[in-house]
Chain A
């Protein structure tokens, strides 16, 4: 295995230091062997490899949109060394067999650690629990369970899931969307939906479920994670639940940190996503929540769709956006360049905390001797215009196309091996 000596990097954005990547771990740079490959990292920020709690890799079932390999290549280009593959595949990842298949595909691809998420209910139908324990005990060692795409709306089922996963230190990641309040919903309910004549998706549909589930988690003493928080009210509720000492965590997507429902006026389904883009006030509350730690982490909700599912009228289009390759740049634009997060805090929100929530023990560790050599080098001074055709994903549905975004991933190391060097996949 190649040994790398990274020199002159700004470790977590402060000072200047060297990193030795040898045998999959970080070593003492003073011990660098003479044949170590030297990487001049002056001007670059070194962060622990990013961990995504929310990725749709589409395999098995929709290999036309993404595969485990193509999605993990996109992840590596975005600086990720671990992703959590959501369960809404075909077949659904609701058995040990499917999660092991996805886990093996990730191992074979080798671009990042692919951690399968298990479905909470069999077939995502919200009727009865999937075999959560079998998935937890499988080779994939599933710890995050989610019906993402649909809400576990039945309060009793949600309560039981929260209780049951305590046996193996699991967490239920809720897609908070009250189904009756969002039937046929197309976009955020507000000024824009009224003008555009679109069925509204009220904030309360998200917030009502979050309030209920926080109360449930508090009641049964379980770990609850809230997926893709999108409204100011949700941030308030999570802040309140944390103040009670309940074990509630939350994520926000890059697109909800940057984009608003004003974009829907174009009627271009590239902006159609679940949960929908909200207002500027919501964006501000999400940024504040991420800055003060109410929202624990950034998760991409990377959702590839083939061209024909977006090249149509709004109502017929699929919901979702690409996110892996632009996440760090969007966070830099929304949070770092605005002075709301330091790079050390970016490492916390995009690596340390998501690894802890997902119970990924060999990710999200400090950049110090003995840690697994999962490292990303970022050039914060770079800028680039997002070009969909450049993506490593099989899909092209990025809402950031054409936007000038700051920052570029120069290198990504997964357990000491370079998956990206000089900005190129290895």
Chain B
């Protein structure tokens, strides 16, 4: 290699290295320091030890936020992802000219920013006049007068319904791509051997899509735990009795509405720890269930 060849990669990487140093490593280290300080806006601070963490972990609003976010994440994984897989399997015919169009339609909600989704669905959930309430009334003769966004018991179901609309198609794209990996010969061989479809699903399809499924589950978990903008805009804040308060909402409120950046940083660490723990657990489970 010529000297210019040796210098070139460092030169090409320098923007990344410089920006990462200033806007990632420095704030990252600062997040550790900040979490142990009491602050009042960006200007003043005083060392308080673990008090920020103790405050957060014993704050009942944090408990509410944690459970709300966890219910949302569970619904994403247990309801939304199977739906995405179901639609992907429905769409996965070999020759299908309409496949592309359905894929576009199912994906289209993902283009709409969460704030805009919140603005639109706040009106779709209106009692008496909202499109969703009318739809439910027409379908199951119930729901026209339900106050989805001001009845604390209905706030989380409403958020989950909106998240279905936003992400079912997005996750379907991944499953659809994964289904291309399913070995058709293997499916046929299993069929000849008399394996029923349920059996075929678990022995042929599931192993083939497993790497992608693990990826999608982990991405959904990480994304779910960072939910904030959609409920914040749809509920004009955090909902009645904090019924729509999420962990990031709690972080945002503490750091920027109350101005307590130290506690905000501590919440950030707690959130990072939660996400890290769940992703690791999911990866371990995925590895543990390896058949061969």
**A and B physically associate:** no
Chain A residues with CB under 8 Å of chain B are none
